[in-house]
């Protein structure tokens, strides 16, 4: 569902510092990427390329797993059997996406256990948008249409990147996410054309999710620690502002067509084709990413409970003699 990377200033400095790398190997590596070749697990790669890929892919994997939690709570409360079946299938898909992405990250040398430990101790992050509650069924509709829509914008772009295992994982994920998007769109249209109460809860959900959706792509390009190497190595193929603008361009008109509004009187497209909007409160973005969001503690508590409860099963399935082999995704 989700996946983006935001660099700190130190990350950006490290990315640009390749003084310790073999210059000939680095030149060949960058030449391969500029020629559109994919980098595979056994290929030589700069230390920072590996580090930033692990960071991005594991964040994406965590987001898939944690992102299933708000939707999962509505399985038993879905309004009818058809919606319940669709939501069950969607949640199963998201968990599967997480497993696929953990496997892709493992090809870079970090084990799944290490990634999950880093999630639980706060060292590794996941998408901010999943630290907000799903209060009504309309929230599930908005997640399915707009949050998944934002994720697809990001993932289609990144599927053209340079690291083979991640790109192949994203191709499969995007295919499945397209069905989630259709499900979400159907749900939104149903509520928007329904009773007064259904329209009201849909409008309320969009009002609450508007700012988290703008936060989804990360800080503005002026605020973000930008790295030329990140783009040159095709770890990231579009800036935060470019992806945010593409999302608004695709989805704002679709919501307006339903006579539903966004809670921003300044939201408009200027003559240059760029969407303008009010400050979405970047201080809130920083608070949530640092663990002080409405549902941060709850999300991590659930994941910790799952890890603790299932540890004996994992231990029982592993023999002491078993040797860990890094997969080739």
Residue 288 has pLDDT above 90, yes or no: yes
Question: 178: domain CATH number?
Answer: 1.20.1260.10
Q: In the chain, which residue ranges form alpha helices assigned H by DSSP?
A: 9-16, 23-34, 47-72, 81-106, 112-120, 137-142, 148-158, 164-192, 196-215, 228-232, 240-257, 282-289, 296-317
pLDDT of residue 313: 83
Residue-averaged pLDDT of the chain: 90
Residue 195 lies in a domain: yes
Residue 154 lies in a domain: yes
Q: What DSSP designation does 41 have? A: T
Burial (CB count <10 Å: 0-12, 13-18, 19+), residue 23: exposed
Residue 252 has pLDDT above 70, yes or no: yes
Listed residue (50, 41, 31) closest to 168, CA to CA: 41
Q: Domains in the chain: how many in total?
A: 1
pLDDT of residue 19: 57
Residue 328 lies in a domain: no
Share of the chain above pLDDT 70, in %: 89
Residue 323 lies in a domain: no
Q: Give the end-to-end CA distance of the chain in Å, rounded to a whole number.
A: 19
Residue 326 lies in a domain: no
Range of the domain at 143: 9-317
Share of the chain above pLDDT 90, in %: 81
Residue 125 lies in a domain: yes
The whole-angstrom separation of Cα 199 and Cα 216 is 25
Mean pLDDT of 3-8: 49
Residue 324 lies in a domain: no
Residue 59 lies in a domain: yes
> Using an 8 Å Cβ cutoff, are 159 and 170 in contact?
yes
Residue 93 has pLDDT above 80, yes or no: yes
- pTM for the predicted model, two decimal places: 0.88
């Amino acid at each position: 569902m989700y996946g983006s990377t935001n660099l700190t200033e130190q990350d950006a400095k490290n990315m640009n510092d390749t003084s310790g790398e073999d210059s000939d190997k680095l030149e060949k590596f960058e030449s391969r990427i500029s020629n559109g070749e994919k980098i595979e697990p056994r290929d030589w790669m700069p230390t920072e390329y590996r580090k930033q890929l692990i960071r991005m892919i594991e964040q994406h994997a965590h987001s898939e797993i944690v992102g299933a939690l708000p939707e999962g709570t509505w399985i038993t409360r879905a309004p009818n059997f058809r919606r319940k079946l669709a939501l069950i299938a969607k949640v199963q898909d998201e968990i599967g996406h997480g497993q696929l992405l953990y496997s892709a990250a493992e090809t870079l040398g970090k084990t799944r256990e290490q990634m999950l430990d880093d999630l639980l101790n706060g060292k590794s992050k996941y998408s901010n948008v999943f630290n907000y509650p799903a209060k009504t069924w309309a929230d599930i509709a908005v997640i399915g249409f707009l949050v998944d829509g934002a994720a697809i914008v990001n993932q289609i772009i990144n599927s053209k990147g340079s690291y083979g295992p991640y790109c192949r994982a994203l191709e499969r994920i995007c295919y499945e996410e397209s069905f989630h998007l259709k499900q979400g769109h159907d749900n939104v249209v149903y509520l928007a054309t329904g009773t007064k109460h259904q329209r009201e809860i849909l409008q309320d959900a969009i009002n609450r999710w508007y700012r988290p959706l703008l936060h989804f792509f990360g800080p503005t390009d002026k605020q973000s620690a930008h790295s030329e190497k990140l783009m040159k190595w095709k770890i990231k193929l579009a800036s935060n502002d470019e992806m945010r603008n593409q999302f608004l361009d695709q989805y704002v008109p679709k919501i307006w067509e339903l006579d539903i509004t966004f809670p921003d009187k300044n939201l408009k497209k200027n003559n240059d084709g760029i969407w303008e909007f009010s400050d979405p409160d970047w201080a809130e973005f920083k608070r949530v990413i640092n663990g002080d969001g409405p549902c941060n503690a709850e999300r991590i508590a659930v994941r910790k409970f799952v890890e603790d409860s299932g540890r004996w099963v994992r231990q029982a399935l592993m023999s002491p003699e078993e040797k860990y082999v890094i997969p080739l995704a």
